[in-house]
Amino acid sequence: MNNVENKNLYDVIIIGGGPAGLTAGIYLARACYRVLIIEKEKFGGQITITSEVVNYPGVEKTSGTELTEHMRRQAESFGAEFLLSEVTEIKDEGDLKKVVTAKGTFDCFGVLMATGAHPRMIGFKGEAEYKGHGVAYCATCDGEFFAGKEVFVVGGGFVAAEESVFLTKYAKHVTVLVREPDFTCAKATAEEAKNHEKIDVHYHTEVKEVSGDSVLRKIVYFNNETNEETEFVPEDGDTFGVFVFAGYAPSTELVKDIVELDPYGYIITDKNQKTNVDGIYGAGDVCVKNLRQVVTAVGDGALAATELERYCEAMSKKTGLTPDREIKRSNVHQVVDSNTEASDEDLFTADMIQQLNTVFSKMESPLTLKLYLDDRNVSLELKEYMNKLSELTEKITVEEVSDVSGEATPCVKVFKDNEEVGMCFHGVPGGHEFTSFILGLYNASGPGQKIDEALKEKVIALDKDIKMTVMVSLTCTMCPELVTSAEKIASLNPKVKVDVYDLNHFPELKEKYNVMSVPCFVINDDSPKFGKKNVEELLDLLS
């Protein structure tokens, strides 16, 4: 144990940056313990896709993003550290645990699993085949692709009721298919869906199959009491959408062989959130519980943190090891989301500027951002965005290119030493893509985000020209991981070029590839693929 490096030793490592993990971070950091919160996608968790939160005590109305951003800032103010990375392994070595990530291995006394859950597939015929081509699981991410079209919502819980109302912003009409005799959520939420003029609800109804060509053309559903089948085919030959909200599956792959799980894969804890293994706790939606809401998640996080305080003190005395609790935010790797409110005068808040300056201070080589513009308003927005960014640091210079022939405008290309680095963003990298854009600059300039050396060697060994076309939506929480992974690979291998498109400004790509879900990506003009990917997963496809 004396070989443990103090700089990588924590009291507690929290895996998952949703409400449960952030709350635990607040409690632990405020009590002067060294805590690291690791999140692989976006700090805030699943609640960030909810546009309206009205049942959190003391807050009359807010969004999931705004609520959890306040939590993140609070944890940071007390000294919690943050890392955007994927945890690949947890090693239980008795008194100490090792948490292995794509950016290094960290030691700790205690681990808190706050990894939440991910949308569950139902399994009807055609569901997997048409995922991304009409079948979707996130209204916030994919709702805009079904503007003016018929939409079916499958499910009868809180999310199905809430998201069916949200989808009326885009859809021509929404049909909700509920397999039970009624919605299973709170009456107030259900009534909003039942009484909406653009929503019809069918009870005792399940999907049998969906089918089509490159997109959905037909759905068949049936009454599970009478077995009567209904077939829907749009009269005008158009496509339609099917949004599945059938609950969640717990994200417990990391600990399935370490701690006790229930038959459904949820972590079993005692009344203090402790698992059957000393030093490993669970909190939030990943645990066995009767109610999965933000308010119960924060309660779990607070309770687990309080118990972990006692555990860490005991382990410190037992091992003779004490984490450097004076280290506060020197290892913060997160760049805050540009959804954070800014003033009318500035595009970036004071918090964002502070964290941007941290990134800029680590950049080694100056970069030039070359702008290829047209006469659309989005070009003016991109120009303002990039100019404001360059005003924050001498390491970024902006140039406007006069000859834009052959370019999909507007776009910004990244150059280093007058050479393209293989990164281009078409549109304006705001919303959830702001962080991935900044990380792309960091990777291009060096030293960049750390990855496993063996993985790095595989990236460098790629010996063929590769062009990736990545299609995103700025509202999608899953897109940034794919973008960051692709641009990390491009920063290491000059043969790889990555073009990222905000589909909102390039509808022709959506039509060309029949994109009904994001993230979507195409490698060397091959068939489109969907879903978030880390560096290793993407490298397997590129190889």
Band the pLDDT of 338: cuts 50, 70, 90.
Answer: very low
Q: Where does a domain end: 226, 244, 262?
A: 244
Phi/psi at 48 (5° precision): -70, -15
Rounded CA-CA distance 107/185 in Å is: 41
pLDDT at residue 342, rounded to an integer:
40
Same domain, 36 and 150: no
Phi/psi at 16 (5° precision): 120, 125
Using the predicted structure, report yes or no on whether residue 185 has a pLDDT greater than 80: yes
Q: Is 378 part of a structural domain of the chain?
A: yes
Which residues are CB-contacts of 442 (< 8 A; sequence separation ≥ 6)?
A: 359, 362, 363, 448, 449
Q: What is the pLDDT of residues 298-336, one digit of tens each?
A: 999 999 999 999 999 999 999 999 898 776 544 444 444
pLDDT at residue 84, rounded to an integer:
84
Q: Is 481 part of a structural domain of the chain?
A: yes
Band the pLDDT of 45: cuts 50, 70, 90.
Answer: confident
Same domain, 211 and 104: no
Nearest-Å Rg of the Cα atoms of the chain is: 24
Tokens of 1: 């144990």
b/e sequence 481-504, b meaning 16+ C-beta within 10 Å: bbbbbbbbbbbbbeebbbbbbbbb
Same domain, 495 and 477: yes
Q: What is the pLDDT of residues 47-79, one digit of tens each?
A: 776 667 777 888 888 888 889 889 999 998 899
Same domain, 234 and 273: no
DSSP conformation class of 369: E
Q: Is 59 part of a structural domain of the chain?
A: yes
CATH number at residue 401: 3.40.30.80
Please list the residues that pair with 520 across neighbouring strands: 471, 530
Rounded CA-CA distance 293/299 in Å is: 10
How many of the other CB atoms lie within 10 Å of CB of 170?
18
pLDDT at residue 138, rounded to an integer:
84
Same domain, 414 and 450: yes
Boundaries of domain holding 398: 350-542
Q: What is the pLDDT of residues 468-522, one digit of tens each?
A: 999 998 878 788 889 999 999 999 999 999 999 999 899 899 889 888 888 999 9
Same domain, 88 and 223: no
Q: Is 1 part of a structural domain of the chain?
A: no
CATH number at residue 233: 3.50.50.60
Look at the chain and report how many structural domains it folds into. Answer: 3
Same domain, 305 and 356: no
Same domain, 240 and 253: no
Same domain, 397 and 295: no
pLDDT at residue 337, rounded to an integer:
39
Q: Is 335 part of a structural domain of the chain?
A: no
Tokens of 69: 């951003």
Q: Where does a domain end: 186, 220, 244?
A: 244
114 in Cβ contact with 69 (< 8 Å): no
31 in Cβ contact with 349 (< 8 Å): no
Question: 220 burial class (0-12, 13-18, 19+ CB within 10 angstroms)?
Answer: middle
Using the predicted structure, report yes or no on whether residue 293 has a pLDDT greater than 90: no
DSSP conformation class of 46: G
Same domain, 444 and 392: yes
Q: Is 445 part of a structural domain of the chain?
A: yes
- Going by C-alpha positions, the residue among 167, 249, 180, 177 that lies closest to residue 208 is 177
Same domain, 491 and 355: yes
Q: Is 18 part of a structural domain of the chain?
A: yes
Q: Is 123 part of a structural domain of the chain?
A: no
Q: Where does a domain end: 244, 261, 294?
A: 244
pLDDT at residue 51, rounded to an integer:
64
Same domain, 221 and 169: yes
- Going by C-alpha positions, the residue among 198, 217, 201 that lies closest to residue 209 is 217
- Going by C-alpha positions, the residue among 115, 143, 129 that lies closest to residue 245 is 143
